[in-house]
Amino acid sequence: MGKTTVSINLAHAFAIAGVKTLLVDADPQGSVGLSLTRQSRLLPGFYDYLADPGLPLEQLIVPTRLATFSLMASGQAGDYDTGGSMGAHLARVRTLLHQISHRGFDLCLIDTAAGLFGVSGDVIASSDAVLIPQQAEPLGIRSVPKLLDGLGKLRVMNPRLQVLGVLLTMVQNDLDDSIEAAKALRQLLPAELVFQNEVPRDGTFIKASARGLPAGVMENGEPIRKIFEGIRMEIARKTSSPALNPRHA
């Protein structure tokens, strides 16, 4: 449970707050689509647009039962350049985001493959902000400074990029190693670079994925919904964007 779980539940938190949200699956594994709709492998999506930017946006955006929440699947195009050099798809990614903005979405949240190269790098170089989900485990914590350094270098290509911070996930408060890893990260980084809210390891996420739903709408999912509402509010404060906090606009 990591970046895809965060993407789905955070997008849902923004949507139920009244923010018109598009969740884009830019991970070739199609994890977002498979978590929310079993037909996602049959849908055109993000990578199909990169292969053919003439595709109408109407064919790529999938509405959900929540009027403020839409999806874009990863698609069926097979030429995925996730680990190659940056820049190959930069212009097309920026054109796509421009089109999405003009469709009236307040927020486009993109779940990318891990890393800062290939398409993932092009997405970050085209975005306003980036959030870093990090599992609360010792090995992963050690790699965070290097990742932040890489994001700093990407700001040369995208000066407006805001690093929102690191969000601890899979936190186990009954496991000393997990507690110590979370504590170590908070000691390693400035307070403003680590989200106050943490995402726990919880079986509800697995059950929600099996049913194709965000975890917050599940029975006994209220505590998870509140966590992601807290994360949403932290992001709204960090960006100071009225569009991301419509209840207080």
Q: How many residues does the chain have?
A: 249
Over its C-alpha atoms, the chain yields an Rg (Å, rounded) of 17
pLDDT band at 11 (very low <50, low <70, confident <90, very high): very high
- Is domain 3-248 annotated with CATH 3.40.190.10? no
pLDDT band at 38 (very low <50, low <70, confident <90, very high): low
- Residue 167 dihedral angles phi and psi, to the nearest 5°: -110, 115
Which pLDDT does position 249 carry in this prediction?
A: 42
Model pLDDT for residues 48-101, shown as the tens digit of each residue: 999 999 999 999 999 998 999 999 999 886 555 555 566 788 999 999 999 999
| Amino acid occupying residue 52 | D
Under DSSP, the state recorded for 240 is: T
Domain boundaries, the chain: 3-248
Which pLDDT does position 17 carry in this prediction?
A: 95
Which pLDDT does position 248 carry in this prediction?
A: 47
Residues of the chain above pLDDT 70, percent: 90
pLDDT band at 128 (very low <50, low <70, confident <90, very high): very high
Q: Which residue has the higher pLDDT, 149 or 212?
A: 149
The strands making up 107-112's β-sheet, listed across from edge to edge, are 61-63, 69-72, 21-26, 107-112
| 171-203 per-residue burial string, b: 16 or more CB within 10 A, e: under 16 | bbeeeeebeebbeebeeebeeebbbeebbbbbe
Model pLDDT for residues 193-226, shown as the tens digit of each residue: 999 999 999 999 988 888 888 998 898 889 999 9
